[in-house]
A = this chain, B = another copy of it.
């Protein structure tokens, strides 16, 4: 089997999400047609994507929901159910700390850091906020690989460097800057203003 394209991997996550909802509705099997419609792609695309999982469906019948979920989960990793650190507990960081979606997807924020851990926090947080000085110790000790970066752009690169130095290999970056990292580190950027700007372009 050829290397799986990045786009395909992304869509596979989407299918998994959608299947979990179908399972909740007690659905046992599903056709590529139905699942494709639920996820906003074309049926052929979905079948092609699923090819990367190996032999899965039954011709003339469709996919077993449970089976497909199992195969997808397995494919997406081994690497899920990972501990994650959050760096930066401002407005956005606070929201991320309280976000239930991560948990459902198999991730747990096990530590949160902020330059000023003592600063007033308006709500009770589920986690004690640690000072940045503890970053290295916690990450190394627990062997954490994934970090969420929710800090101002001005300090993002510097903090990213520190994270990479202590063993982080995957960064979900909310700072509106392009991080320069070694090739061995993978970065996903979420730039909220960019999304809006991009959206606005398409308004006629």
- A contact residues vs B (CB 8 Å cutoff): 9-10, 13-14, 16-18, 38-40, 76-77, 79-80, 82, 84, 91-92, 94-96, 98-99, 101-102, 104-107, 122-123, 145-146, 148, 169-172, 176, 178, 180, 186, 188, 190-204
| Closest B residue, CB atoms, query A106 | B197
Instruction: Specify how many copies of this chain sit in the oligomer.
Output: 2
Contact A199 B176, CB 8 Å, known A193-B105, A194-B14: no
Q: How far is the CA of A176 from the CA of B16 in the complex (A)?
A: 12
A96 contacts across to B, CB distance below 8 A: 95, 192
Please pick, from B17, B102, B196, the residue contacting A192 in the complex, using a CB distance under 8 A.
B102
Please pick, from B13, B39, B148, B192, the residue contacting A198 in the complex, using a CB distance under 8 A.
B13
Q: 5 shortest A-B CB distances, which residue pairs?
A: A95-B95, A105-B193, A101-B193, A40-B178, A186-B202
Q: Is the CB of A76 within 8 A of B9?
A: no
Q: How far is the CA of A81 from the CA of B81 in the complex (A)?
A: 41
Q: Is the CB of A203 within 8 A of B178?
A: no
Q: Is the CB of B170 within 8 A of A203?
A: yes
A98 contacts across to B, CB distance below 8 A: 91
Q: Is the CB of B101 within 8 A of A38?
A: no
Q: Is the CB of A102 within 8 A of B190?
A: no
A188 contacts across to B, CB distance below 8 A: 195-196, 198-199
Q: How far is the CA of A14 from the CA of B14 in the complex (A)?
A: 26
A146 contacts across to B, CB distance below 8 A: 196, 199-200, 203
A91 contacts across to B, CB distance below 8 A: 94-95, 98-99
A101 to chain B, nearest CB (A): 4
Q: Is the CB of A10 within 8 A of B76?
A: no
Greatest chain B CB density within 10 A among A94, A169, A203, A204 is at: A203
A82 contacts across to B, CB distance below 8 A: 200, 203
Contact A170 B105, CB 8 Å, known A92-B99, A188-B195, A190-B192: no
